[in-house]
Structure 1
Amino acid sequence: MPRDPNIPDAFDVYTLVVLRRPAEVPQMSDEELDELQASHLAYRAELRRQGLLVVNGPFGEQSDTSYRGMSIFACDLAEAARLSDGDPSVVAGRLTYDVMEWWVAAGVLGFPQAGRPVGDRRSMPED
């Protein structure tokens, strides 16, 4: 059977982390929440300075408000999970996350501020 022409010959594979609000979160005062948010943002800014986190940000309108934000990491899934475990909002139980590979057609995304290539170039395995 010939190759499906709608499947790219190559993909860039990125490590994606989606932050979400768990069903049950610990209650905190407004002051505690403000401090936690500042720590969360500082932690992620430091990961970006270190070149481990390429891009991240919160979600706006969406169909499921438990989803809070998304990040693309410049490391494998295990390292992205380890780094996400260290996020103060995850430690505090206010956020959890899903980590996954995201396959996109090769060359369609660029990260000019990353300072190095992000992701791995791969071909779709043959059946």
Structure 2
Amino acid sequence: MHETINIPPSCVTPYDFYHLLVDDALMDVIVRETNYYAAQTIQNSTTKNESRSRAWKPIDGGELKKCFAIVLWFGIVPTPDMKKPWSKDRFYRNEFNPRDRFINILRFLHFSSNET
């Protein structure tokens, strides 16, 4: 017996297939929960006002997509360390997100509510 995989004919690019898994509704949830978790964490934190966490600005869907693209890129292009993609080396150069912003987004990345 052969199983049939129902892939829409409009899926032709890698992004089309990615979008089947990570659609706009899911991105909206991740953006909302990440921003909420960041605000919650910062409010309850005792860190210094100068810390990177305190510099948090809410993200939007476009910025989250860029961060996910960088994470996927890390899986494809081997890098010796996390700083390399933000170096001046043209092979690794990343002009999407500043490094500290990227790390901050990863720190607060949240997929669901903490409240039950």
TM-score normalised per structure 1: 0.30
TM-score normalised per structure 2: 0.32
Higher relative contact order (CA 8 A, sep 6+): 1
Instruction: Choose between structure 1 and 2: higher helix proportion.
Output: 2
Instruction: Choose between structure 1 and 2: higher strand proportion.
Output: 1
